[in-house]
Amino acid sequence: MSKLGGFGATVMGTGMAIPGRVVTNQDLERMVDTSDQWIVERTGIRTRYVAEEGVLTTDLAEAASREALRNAGVAPEDLDLILVGTNSPDTLFPAVAAKLQGRLGAVRAGAADVQSGCTGSLYAMAMAAGGIASGAFRHVLVVGAEVLSRMIDWTDRNTCVLFGDGAGAVVMGPASCGGGRVEGFSLRADGTKHDLITFMGGLVEHPASEETLAAGMHHVKMKGNDVFKFVNREIPPFIDGFLEEMGLSPEEVAHWVFHQANWRIIDGVLKRMGLPEDRAVVNLDRYGNTSSASILMALHEAVSSGRVSKGDRVLMSSFGAGMTYGALLLQY
């Protein structure tokens, strides 16, 4: 756990982007053996957005980034670093962040992708906050962007109903620039559970071949029940411990931005922590699980709608393949 000191860091502006094609549960009923009722009862998802042909992860990342930069009042040439959390980059290399840096004209900025499952954008925010608080950076653009629809088996009802495409972005800077601050963060992983969410084909362990294609290794695989059990076992005590180290009770956090993976998971964590449903920021019913983009999209909607007021505390928490998980506490 890191209780952030130094110069402090804040979120100066947020943004998001979604592609133009909506896929409803009724659409999926015509594609796989499923139903709207089954999907809603088990996930809470009603629609998701899917990238049109030719739309890349970098395209969504750019649109979200430009909105965040406008809202922050920061020019691209003033950025010191660009970090993109993604599990569905256009290519393994070059990185999405490098392409984004070029498109934005962020001539002074370094660029790197952060691949840490759905927790990637939270990891990137923590890295940015630490770098800003130390004085190493002044302005950092953090993006979560995904086009997971190209990596999904659309005949597998256990995964195709869950995921959507989208991007969220935040511009982070010194606490003196925004009034609020990142109060602290904690990043964790349990690599003994690395087999719960996987995409195995095409790289070093399983180079692309006719055999890997036939075995379906070029699609996302997930042991859904095991993921559900892991999250409900690990996340509530982890967050309890994080807040205790921060010297806060759950009741002192006004808004909870959980990874938008499954309403049953969010509801279970809220109940175990004794929190009412209205404390959680929820948009997964409209967008599905957008992986590393989800918490940044949810934060943007909470801020842009006026839901978050000055002085409010916001706790962001995510989990993902690896298994990785983490939490970050903001005060606006």
Buried b (16+ CB within 10 A) or exposed e, 259-285: bbbbbebbebbbeebeeeeeebbbbbe
Q: Determine the number of helices (DSSP H) and then strands (DSSP E) in the chain.
A: 11, 14
Cis peptide leading into 94, omega within 30 of 0?
yes
d(CA 307, CA 59) in angstroms, rounded, equals 28
User: Angle 228-233-235 (CA atoms, 0-180°, nearest 5)?
Assistant: 90
Cis peptide leading into 246, omega within 30 of 0?
no
d(CA 98, CA 85) in angstroms, rounded, equals 12
206 is catalytic: no
The number of C-alpha atoms within 13 Å of 91 and in the hemisphere containing its C-beta is 6
DSSP for 56-90, written as a single string: -HHHHHHHHHHHHHHHHT--GGG-SEEEEE-SS-S
259 is catalytic: yes
**Is 73 in contact with 152 (CB distance < 8 Å)?**
no
d(CA 47, CA 161) in angstroms, rounded, equals 9
177 is catalytic: no
CA 88 to chain centre: 12
**Is 263 in contact with 44 (CB distance < 8 Å)?**
yes
**Is 277 in contact with 266 (CB distance < 8 Å)?**
no
Its sign, for the CA torsion 332, 315, 56, 53, is negative
Interaxial angle between packed helices 96-104 and 57-72, expressed in degrees from 0 to 180 and rounded to the nearest 10: 50
Choose, from 25, 118, 219, 283, the residue flagged as catalytic.
118
Residues with a catalytic annotation lie at 118, 259, 289
